[in-house]
Amino acid sequence: MKITELKLKNFRNAENEILTFSQDTNLIWGKNAEGKTNVIEAIYYFANSKSFRTSRDSDLIMFGENEATLTALFEDGGKICRYEIKISKNEKRSFYYNNIKISKMSDFFGNFRAVLFVPEHLRIVKNGPGERRSLIDGALCQLKRTYISDLYKYSKVASEKNAVLKDYKDCLETNALLDVYDDTLIEIGAKITKTRREYTKMLFERAKKHIYDMSGDELEYEFKMSGFSSNEDETEFYRRIIPETRKKDVIYKSMTAGCQRDDFEIKLNGIPLRQYGSQGQQRSVVIALKLAEGEIAEETKKSSPIYLFDDILSELDEKRREYLLKRLDGKQVIITSCLGSEEKIYSGKRIYVEKGKYIEGENEY
């Protein structure tokens, strides 16, 4: 798939802007805090229904305005499609696909697909399990509509259970209610973990080849259900562990077991990368995982996703940068970059940004 046009109205510092994109590489360049990342943020919103920079949609609306509108035209499978998102300070967000309002969020996902690569992703290996789950969940939500529904259901029931645990009273009625919650969490949690487990296997199968091509190293991983190493069936595992942790849940007034604790450990040549990997090795692994994410999306949906790189190539050495760009030849890539000599290496369309204004074809400093 390819995005052809993006309209921004009262989005961040863009009052009323229209950008058009080439079918291959597009460079958004300019100084810091001028609006480069806003383009990446807006495009990824169509893929994942949220910003990767803030949890508050009100932050996306231009100061002094009450509503922002994002509109994208994109080609997928020979068809031209139109997406529109309205973000308001006073009302719920609204989504439109080909001018038809989307009533269920599960219908939103999968229509627009993108692989996001930002500097924060370089810390996926070192940081906590939440970031590794986000990597998996962000990709899966674009591929399986049922998956996002399961995440919403699980989150709702887990919140209700935690509310009961917070004011826990040791009586028959309360314990019976917790049993009901546990039955649902076991069923949905097993589905979520199974999907993550299967996807992670596919991801690392493809990432292993990229790591070997880049450095000759052997990449391995270990999936951990609820933070534990186990080869059990997902349902059986949760049927065992969730009741076992009831006393601990009561003490901590919150769930201590479940798919919300899933994780995977990454190893290189048999050595845990989190504790002992160099910065260069960690970067190679993240590059490999992002390339693998895009390959799975293309195989699953029969069309390539759009690749979004927010000031990431400047973080990579020449060898890794060249490897990444070579593997993306023929794909649509949108890159942001600050002023600097590295801009001279990019071919394709160039868009200069200054104070929320986007000027196409600018090539001079």
Return the pLDDT at 302.
Answer: 93
Query: Are 247 and 189 in the same domain?
Result: yes
Burial annotation 197-236 (CB, 10 A radius, 16+ → b, else e) = bebbeebbebbbebbeebbebebbbebbbbeeeeeeebee
**8 Å CB contact between 40 and 46:** no
Rounded alpha-carbon distances, angstroms, from residue 298 to 113, 114, 139, 232, 252: 9, 10, 12, 31, 43
CATH number, position 257: 1.20.1050.90
Quote the pLDDT of residue 364: 44
The DSSP bridge pattern shows strands 306-310 and 114-117 to be parallel
Amino acid (one-letter) located at 128: G
Same domain as 341, residue 294 = no
Cα 113 to chain centroid distance, Å, stands at 10
The secondary structure of residue 123, as a DSSP letter, is G
User: In the chain, how long is the greatest CA-to-CA distance?
Assistant: 74
Shared domain check, 136 and 262: yes
Domain hosting 266: range is 120-302
* Pairing outcome for strands 333-337 and 25-29: parallel
Burial 32-47 (b: 16+ CB within 10 A, else e): eebbbbbbbbbbbbbb
Residue with tokens 């009262």: 10
* C-beta atoms surrounding 259 within 10 Å: 25
Over residues 197-240, the pLDDT tens digits come to 999 999 999 999 999 999 899 999 999 999 999 899 999 999 99
pLDDT digit string (tens) for 73-87? 999 988 999 999 999
Within a 10 A sphere around the Cβ of 103, how many other Cβ atoms?
A: 10
Domain end marker among 262, 279, 302: 302
pLDDT tens sequence for the chain (365 residues): 999 999 999 999 999 999 999 999 999 999 999 999 999 999 999 999 999 999 999 999 999 999 999 999 999 988 999 999 999 999 999 999 999 999 988 888 889 999 999 999 988 999 999 999 999 999 999 999 999 999 999 999 999 999 999 999 999 999 999 999 999 999 999 999 999 999 999 999 999 999 999 989 999 999 999 999 989 999 999 999 999 999 999 999 999 999 999 999 999 999 999 999 998 999 999 999 999 999 999 999 999 999 999 988 888 888 898 999 899 999 999 999 886 445 555 668 999 999 999 998 755 43
Domain count, the chain: 2
Residues 104 and 157 in one domain: no
- 261 and 139, same structural domain? yes
Q: d(Cα 125, Cα 94) in Å, to the nearest integer?
A: 35
247 and 360 part of one domain: no
Are 43 and 156 within one domain? no
Same-domain pairing of 59 and 165: no
Domain finish residue from 278, 302, 326: 302
In sequence order, the 6+-apart residues with CB closer than 8 A to the CB of 127 are none
In this structure, are 83 and 199 located in the same domain?
Answer: no
Report the distance separating Cα 25 and Cα 145, nearest Å: 29
Which residues, at least 6 apart from 300, have a Cβ–Cβ distance to it below 8 Å? 143
166 lies in the same domain as 263? yes
Considering the domain architecture, whether residues 49 and 2 belong to the same structural domain is answered as yes
Among the candidates 281, 302, 323, a domain finishes at 302
Q: Which residues pair with 25 in a beta bridge?
A: 333
- Looking at residue 320, which CATH number applies to its domain? 3.40.50.300
What phi and psi, each to the nearest 5 degrees, are found at residue 210? -65, -40
Structure tokens at 202: 């596919």
72 and 192 share one domain: no
Q: Is the dihedral of CA 168, 170, 171, 173 positive or negative?
A: positive
Residue 75 half-sphere exposure toward CB, CA atoms < 13 A: 8
